[in-house]
Amino acid sequence: MSFTNSSSYIRGRNTLNHIHGNQVNGTINAGIVNFTAGQETTQRTVYDEFPYVKRGDMFIIKEIYSVDLSGWDWNWRNGQLIGRHKSARRSIYVVEILPYRQAKFTAVMYEGDDVQNAWEADFRQFSHARKPGSTQLFGINRSEIPALIFHSELIPLAHLYKESFWMNVYVEHLAISKECGRKYLWMDTKGVLCSGPQGPPADWGRYFDAVSDSAFTVPSTVDMLEDDVSFRFFCNIGSSVDKSILECAWWSWKRTFLDTLFQVTTDPEGPRCKDGGNYHCISKLPYLRRLWRTAPHQIPMDIIEGLRFDTVYSPSLGTVAKWPRGAQITWKWRDTIGLQDKSLLDDGITRFKLAATQGEQMLLTAWLDPGSLFWKGWLSQSLHISDTLEMMGNEQDFFVVDPPQVYLTASRYASKDPVAKSPAIYLFVYPFPMSLSELVTWVNGRSHFWSVDQSGQSKMSKDECEQWGLPTFTPFIHETYLLSWPSQVYAALRDWQTARSFDPKTSDWARHMGYPELEIIGARNDEERFVFVDEVDDGWEYYDRNYGFANPMASQWQLLTPNTLEDAIDLSV
């Protein structure tokens, strides 16, 4: 028997002291060898809490999602801003792992430049996720292509999502309970919905604020994605989700267009624009461009100028209902930078005092009805109004005008005289518009004026403004749109009101929700609604005050506006 690196040996009792490298003291007795090694100190890290899975032990079954993480990394170097482009991807796969070939896992892999930072960020998040309802981390890989491996095969909710009103309500409440966004929701093989890594995009629709009057937890089972199941669940919750239902309905709007409604307002192939009469160049009113799918060169203001922001319209631009005068919706200030002491005067004009500090950047922004009181008020009683007008089932044809945000911006100013010596100077902003014609007027010069008179009776001239070095505010208008709601929204509102023991043909639910009753403009009896126009070859032709021309023998409506008809028939009653 030989001992490596031993310089001598001892015969006799079965004890050997052999010192080589680290000292090991052991006793051999009766053929049993027991070693008591010196205690070696090893510092464990959080990475040791998870098995290390070699890339060779992972077998990719399919790819779920891949996203580009490329971007620029900017750093200051020797007084210069130096940029370096980084190329990276994060990909999610379903994998099998040796020796667990009977089970499937979900692996998130990172490839490219500097992906360790992205891996570390995700690892920190999911290594602490140990509560039910969140994806559980199984193992890790820290090679040049690092990976996070999760228990179970995960299916992204985006692959299960469909455009459904009740699924939308449920998913939003689920995301809130999981404290994550919709794209982080997954389903495991047990049919349980959970939060996890960022998944693929989907046509989620618009997010809305799921508002509840009381705390409740939605189930995480996949059957809740079925409309009838989620509907029954929310019906059992009752009034606590009334606001969520209305919020979801509001955010389900779709854009519509004037040239979809009728052709009389469009001339995309017509002559180039020249101002005159009732027409204005679209190039001078770009904020109205999105009223059409294909904007005309000339805007027919005589047709659209009366469209208001507090009114519901039929496809023929006939007024269906409007917000009651006694419950006026108002514009709200969002920013008032560089000005102070805001005051609303009796005539609707808003007064500001010029701040004493010179060189300020000035910005005023405002929007109408930021809580969408009007839209929600309409939706809460739309079925009642359409029933009153005998137009039940046609609610998806109604539309509203989405008011734009308005801006007044001014560059930095510098008074020619010391500010301390100047009198108080006030900025007066005219009332914001409530119709398209008022919007055009407001933008084209009637938005504001300066005065040293606190009451605003005397306006400062252009020369006086220049003498004091006052800035000239420039109006900027976001584009305005036409909006409508699909039939499934109105159907959901009908089902909800019925389940809540409200009659959809009344305005009871609207009053319960705190909204005033809209003024129903189009309410007429049958004799008043249709006007005989003329005899035609295949029958008679009538004008429906709500929709336009109707030939009882024809299959199509001929849609014309009341303005267009005034030359042909008398619509007065």
> pLDDT digits over 529-559, tens only?
444 444 444 444 444 444 443 333 333 333 3
Q: What is the dihedral of CA 462, 463, 464, 469, to 10 degrees?
A: 90
Predicted confidence band at 70 (pLDDT cuts at 50, 70, 90)? confident
Of 17-21, 146-150, 278-282, 542-546, highest mean pLDDT: 146-150
- Which residue reads 């002559």 in tokens? 271
- Provide the pLDDT for residue 426: 93
Q: Is the pLDDT of residue 35 over 80?
A: no
Q: Give the whole-angstrom CA distance, residue 134 versus residue 141.
A: 21
Q: Give the whole-angstrom CA distance, residue 195 versus residue 205.
A: 19
Say if CB 233 and CB 244 are below 8 A apart.
Answer: no
- Provide the pLDDT for residue 215: 73
**In 3D, which of 277, 279, 256, 259 has the Cα closest to residue 268?**
259
- Provide the pLDDT for residue 276: 52
Region 224-250: what's the mean pLDDT?
A: 94
pTM (2 decimals)?
0.77
Q: Is 562 left (phi over 0), alpha (psi -120 to 50) or beta?
A: alpha
**In 3D, which of 387, 372, 373, 371 has the Cα closest to residue 497?**
387
Other beta carbons less than 10 A from residue 286's beta carbon: 12
Per mean pLDDT, which range of 162-166, 204-208, 234-238, 246-250 is the poorest? 204-208
User: How many DSSP H helices and E strands does the chain contain?
Assistant: 13, 32
Please tell me the chain's helix, strand, coil percentages from 3-state DSSP, rounded to the nearest 5. Answer: 25, 30, 45
Q: Is the pLDDT of residue 73 over 60?
A: yes
- Provide the pLDDT for residue 355: 78
> For residue range 481-520, what is the model confidence (pLDDT) as tens digits?
999 999 999 999 999 999 999 999 999 999 999 999 999 9
**In 3D, which of 415, 411, 435, 431 has the Cα closest to residue 423?**
415
Domain range summary for the chain, segments of one domain joined by +: 155-252, 255-304, 321-482, 526-565
The dihedral through the CA atoms of 15, 19, 21, 22 has a sign that is: positive
- Provide the pLDDT for residue 548: 44
Say if CB 310 and CB 326 are below 8 A apart.
Answer: no
Our measurement of the distance from residue 375's CA atom to the centroid of its chain's CA atoms, rounded to an integer in Å, reads 16
